[in-house]
Amino acid sequence: MKLKLVVLDLELSRRQRMLGAAGLGAAVLMVGAVAVADVPNTFAAGDTLTAAGLNENFAALDDRLNTVETAPPGVVTTEWAPFTTDVTSTAGTPLTSTPIVSGSTGHWRRVGDTLEVRIGTQVNCTSGFPSWGLPSGLTIDTDKIPASYAVVGSAHVENSAGTAHTPLSVAIEPGGRVVLLGSAPGSAVGGMDCNGLGATGKARLAFAVPIEGWTVSGP
């Protein structure tokens, strides 16, 4: 009996040989399939494998890998998380704050370099101007904010009696906290003071601000 040894030189690049080593077993199993998705050459059972055909398929896969490796990173997005809102008056005096409904007084999430905040709180505010802080450890990136008192969101305020409902704007004050701006009962210099809330007033805020140290894709 005579045996004939056939040597097939595929002339593969180093990367193609690495890919081949990892996927040769799978490739052999797929030879009998009718087609391999989105490659230049497909082989049916009984077809002769050629170096040119395999090289073209490996080159196509290599191009796809390069596309994946060079694609820009995705935007970091987190789930909503509860936090306890820090509410003070103009003088820095802490104010009593409780949730309007059960749960937390605030929720936040990250979208890229931006913090999104939703607050629903009943505040005991009888004098001064109320202001709200961010979740612990986060600071507004003032390099990305055009000016002091820049508007970053909207709010709805209800007085203690439930007889006055006022739409307002949320703005950043120089100290890095957020305050309410707009025409409201007891307002001064465009700001909403505690006369508009009272001992059991309700404030609902929604705003978004850039955060120091955050970029679109990390950290």
What structural domains and CATH numbers belong to the chain? Answer: 14-70 (no CATH), 81-210 (2.60.90)
Task: Flag whether the pTM goes above 0.75.
Answer: no
Q: Which residue is it, tokens 């997005």? A: 77
Residue 110 confidence (pLDDT): 97
Residue 202 confidence (pLDDT): 94
Burial of 135 (0-12, 13-18, 19+ CB in 10 A): middle
Are 208 and 77 in contact, with CB atoms under 8 Å apart?
Answer: no
Q: Taking residues 149-155, what's their average pLDDT?
A: 93
13-22, 54-63, 137-146, 154-163 — which is least confidently predicted?
A: 13-22
User: Who wins on pLDDT, 46 or 98?
Assistant: 98
